[in-house]
Chain A
Amino acid sequence: MSTTLLLIQLLNGLQLGVLLFLIAAGLTLVFGVMGFINLAHGVQYMIGAYLVVWFYGLTGHFMIALVLAMAVALALGLLLEAFVFSRLYDRDHLDQVLATFGVILFVNQGVKVLWGPTPLTIPAPEILAGTFQLTENLQYPVWRIAIIAIGAAVALLLWFLVTRTRLGMLVRAGASNAEMVGALGVNIRRLFMVVFGFGAMLAGFAGAIAAPIYSVEPGMGDDLLITAFVVIAIGGIGSIRGAFIAALLVGLVDTLGRSAVTDILKLFLEPSAANQIGPALASMAVYVLMAAVLFFRPAGLFPARGAA
């Protein structure tokens, strides 16, 4: 593998990692603070993507569409919280898994009814739509770089919110011991709602900025959700810092693994055999990483302090 190829794969890995982080941030807080397993979090990602395509069709302007999509994703997240999820906090995890899985089926079918089963696409915003020349025969889309920058900015913002504000303090306290925070007179239900809505909006935001790269189709969030769970397990449940580092780690391992594993196998296997085995092994790489991390640190890399 040449150095340019390696550089590109690093960029691709970072970009995937940033998207994973935006999804995992909400997921880890919801899981950490509320102990609530929300399989339907990937649905928010899909909703964000569909909304941005829809608003883009109406307004013809990507940035306006993005803002509108985030607002509606937030509203939908809060609605789901109020009408469905809030009833599940006191139930056990199996009930939560079943109910939120039902939400996935319902919403996936819903977008199919509204927008049809065929994939939709949306162009990147005009100023960021170009490519820049990386090497003589290789261009790299500016939008992917923009995603990395946006993701890093959101991560900084989140870090500030969580470590430097009163709300963030309550969230951290909630992740460590929700009952104690409630006993101290904090309205824990409202805190849950804020965290949930914010997480839903972040996932919607991830879907919206990913829409110009991937195709927008029913069920698009489901695969990423599984990887996002891997991220929060590696990072430590309830930890934003852990989610950030784990997301970048997973993004890099997944992307580099996909190109490197087959090449490495080719050194000591027939090319055709390497081509057969390589992709299978590469898709296992992130799970191997998770197993390794959990073996040495069962609570993840950065567990929320004092959490049981």
Chain B
Amino acid sequence: MKNLLISSAAALALLAAPAMAAETLKIGMVVTLSGPPGALGNQARDGFQLAMEELDGKIGGMETELILEDDELKADVAQSKARSLVERDDVDFVVGTIFSNMLQAIYKPVISSDTFLISPNAGPSTFAGRNCNPDFFVTSYQNNQNFEVLGKIANEKGYKRVFMLAPNYQAGKDSMAGFKQNYEGEIADEVFTPLGHKDFSAEIARISDSEADALFIFMPGGMGVRFVKQFSASGLADKMAFLSAFTVDETTLPAQKDDAVGMNGATNWAPDLDNEQTKAFVAAFEEKYGYIPGGYAMQAYDTAMLIDSAVSKAGGVEDRDAVRAALKEADFQSLRGDFSFNNNHYPVQDFYLLEVVKRDDGKYHTSIIEKVYDDYADSYAEQCEMGG
């Protein structure tokens, strides 16, 4: 009986707590930190924490508590961690995830608990169209966009025959569909490899036999490292164009090194984007963490700044409608320069053709060659019924 009294008292104390809790802003972050894909989540974590540090630990002027969770790239783990964030820790925002399948896992528990969910990387089509949600924002891109951009580049460069290579899972199939949406030339072949493929010699032999003038490739993480190395060793790199997304970036370049120099990619940012905020960000990031930030770090940094702008504007997190409206306005200085949200809360932004370069100090990064799209919106937004 005594225990019951104590726990009731504790429960009452908790009920009285919100007045106090309003002083602290609680943000839960669910990203992949372990295993080889953890390199991506580590970038996102570092980017977010750098932003917090620059804001003196106060996002939106409020004392901020960041709760970091590793989803281990397992759907059940991601879901239970997200659930504990919204139920036990009672966070105001959940920031996550890196991988789209993890986002699918945490989406429901977070959204149904009336918590804002902001994705710093995963941008699946699932929530971009008919199933868009007022409490869900994406600060990266809609997944298909990078591939659509590559399709346009292939047209503009006049590539007549393209060989396509991707891993055999949902994102791999989406990547090919995205590319083909814009690409008008002939497709030499479409080849799917198993996920986590080790030896690309069979595929490389087929590529060399295909008489294609460009290769479209989506090989994230360690697969990209192995492919680039073997592709370069085969001597094909000098003979055909290399159009990639998520295959040569700041997370894989430390391993790919010289083999990747000159290869092309397409995305929304590169560390040498010509604006003041990017210069300052890259310098501060390298100073603190000792490596060059990629898109994952940039998007997480932008996410923190977005939350900062919204919470400041709404004067706290009490009034959820005000916070939502302020998020939608995206009134912050993005590292990308132009940035706004579409009606489906996915970004409208510029896309660039990138090339891997070696810096004077021997480090590698992607570098912007030219702008491909100005204020590019995704193709699912019109199916979303939220007002502009």
Residue A110 CB within 8 A of the other chain:
no
11 contacts between A and B (CB under 8 A): A12-B201, A117-B34, A118-B36, A119-B221, A121-B229, A137-B208, A143-B233, A213-B230, A219-B36, A275-B190, A276-B168
Question: Is A275 a contact partner of B233 (Cβ separation < 8 A)?
Answer: no
Question: Is B222 a contact partner of A217 (Cβ separation < 8 A)?
Answer: yes
Given A118-B39, A121-B256, A215-B225, verify A280-B202 contact (CB < 8 Å): no
Residue A35 CB within 8 A of the other chain:
no
Residue A287 CB within 8 A of the other chain:
no
Q: Which of B113-156 contact A (CB under 8 A)?
A: none
Residue B322 CB within 8 A of the other chain:
no
Residue A31 CB within 8 A of the other chain:
no
Question: Is A214 a contact partner of B198 (Cβ separation < 8 A)?
Answer: yes
Residue A223 CB within 8 A of the other chain:
yes
Residue A86 CB within 8 A of the other chain:
no
Kindly report which residue of chain A lies nearest to residue B42, judged by CB atoms. A117
Q: Which of B77-104 contact A (CB under 8 A)?
A: none
Question: Is B229 a contact partner of A213 (Cβ separation < 8 A)?
Answer: yes
Q: Which of B167-221 contact A (CB under 8 A)?
A: 168, 190-194, 196, 198-199, 201-203, 205-206, 208-209, 211, 221
A4 to B210 CA separation, bound complex (whole angstroms): 12
**Which listed residue (A140, A215, A217, A279) contacts B192, Cβ 8 A?**
A279
Question: Is B206 a contact partner of A117 (Cβ separation < 8 A)?
Answer: no
Question: Is A139 a contact partner of B199 (Cβ separation < 8 A)?
Answer: no
Residue A232 CB within 8 A of the other chain:
no
Residue B388 CB within 8 A of the other chain:
no
Q: Which residues of A contact B222 (CB under 8 A)?
A: 119, 215, 217
User: Apart from A141-B230, A141-B234, A143-B233, what 16 extra A-B contacts exist at CB < 8 Å?
Assistant: A5-B205, A12-B201, A15-B201, A118-B251, A121-B256, A139-B235, A213-B199, A215-B225, A215-B226, A217-B222, A219-B35, A220-B198, A255-B199, A259-B205, A272-B190, A279-B194
- Closest Cβ–Cβ distance, residue A81 to chain B (whole Å): 28
Question: Is A8 a contact partner of B201 (Cβ separation < 8 A)?
Answer: yes
- Closest Cβ–Cβ distance, residue B384 to chain A (whole Å): 29
Question: Is A117 a contact partner of B208 (Cβ separation < 8 A)?
Answer: no
B192, B203, B233, B235: which has the most chain A beta carbons within 10 Å? Answer: B233
Question: Is A214 a contact partner of B199 (Cβ separation < 8 A)?
Answer: yes
Residue A9 CB within 8 A of the other chain:
yes
Residue B314 CB within 8 A of the other chain:
no
Q: Which residues of A contact B194 (CB under 8 A)?
A: 279, 283
A196 to B309 CA separation, bound complex (whole angstroms): 62
| Chain B interface residue bracket vs A | 35 or more
Kindly report which residue of chain A lies nearest to residue B238, judged by CB atoms. A139
Residue B38 CB within 8 A of the other chain:
yes
Question: Is B257 a contact partner of A121 (Cβ separation < 8 A)?
Answer: yes
Residue A84 CB within 8 A of the other chain:
no
Q: Which residues of B contact A124 (CB under 8 A)?
A: 233
Question: Is A138 a contact partner of B233 (Cβ separation < 8 A)?
Answer: no
Kindly report which residue of chain A lies nearest to residue B230, judged by CB atoms. A213
Q: Which residues of B contact A12 (CB under 8 A)?
A: 199, 201-202, 205
Question: Is A119 a contact partner of B209 (Cβ separation < 8 A)?
Answer: no
Question: Is A9 a contact partner of B255 (Cβ separation < 8 A)?
Answer: no
- Closest Cβ–Cβ distance, residue B272 to chain A (whole Å): 22
A residues near B (Cβ < 8 Å) are 2, 4-5, 8-9, 12, 15-16, 112, 117-121, 124, 131, 137-141, 143-144, 213-215, 217-220, 223-224, 255, 258-259, 262, 271-272, 275-276, 278-280, 283
Q: Which residues of B contact A224 (CB under 8 A)?
A: 198
A124 to B35 CA separation, bound complex (whole angstroms): 26
Given A121-B255, A215-B222, verify A275-B192 contact (CB < 8 Å): yes
Kindly report which residue of chain A lies nearest to residue B251, judged by CB atoms. A118
Question: Is B202 a contact partner of A2 (Cβ separation < 8 A)?
Answer: no
Residue B262 CB within 8 A of the other chain:
no
Q: Which residues of A contact B257 (CB under 8 A)?
A: 121
Question: Is B234 a contact partner of A140 (Cβ separation < 8 A)?
Answer: yes
Question: Is B209 a contact partner of A2 (Cβ separation < 8 A)?
Answer: yes
A283 to B229 CA separation, bound complex (whole angstroms): 23
Question: Is A139 a contact partner of B205 (Cβ separation < 8 A)?
Answer: no
Residue B239 CB within 8 A of the other chain:
yes
**Which listed residue (A8, A15, A118, A258) contacts B255, Cβ 8 A?**
A118
A217 to B222 CA separation, bound complex (whole angstroms): 8
A9, A137, A276: which has the most chain B beta carbons within 10 Å? Answer: A137
Question: Is A119 a contact partner of B255 (Cβ separation < 8 A)?
Answer: yes
Question: Is A223 a contact partner of B208 (Cβ separation < 8 A)?
Answer: no
- Closest Cβ–Cβ distance, residue B275 to chain A (whole Å): 28
Residue B254 CB within 8 A of the other chain:
yes
Q: Which residues of B contact A276 (CB under 8 A)?
A: 168, 192
A15 to B211 CA separation, bound complex (whole angstroms): 25
- Closest Cβ–Cβ distance, residue A33 to chain B (whole Å): 29
- Closest Cβ–Cβ distance, residue B98 to chain A (whole Å): 13
**Which listed residue (B201, B239, B251) contacts A255, Cβ 8 A?**
B201
What does the 1/0 interface line of B230-271 toward A look like (CB < 8 Å)? 100111100100000000000110111101000000000000
A280 to B169 CA separation, bound complex (whole angstroms): 11
Question: Is B255 a contact partner of A215 (Cβ separation < 8 A)?
Answer: yes
Q: Which residues of A contact B236 (CB under 8 A)?
A: 139
Given A215-B226, A276-B192, A279-B193, verify A117-B35 contact (CB < 8 Å): yes
Q: Which residues of A contact B38 (CB under 8 A)?
A: 117
- Closest Cβ–Cβ distance, residue A62 to chain B (whole Å): 15
A139 to B257 CA separation, bound complex (whole angstroms): 21
* 9 A-B pairs closest in CB distance: A139-B235, A12-B201, A215-B225, A8-B205, A141-B233, A119-B225, A138-B208, A119-B222, A119-B255
Q: Which residues of B contact A275 (CB under 8 A)?
A: 190-192
A215 to B196 CA separation, bound complex (whole angstroms): 11
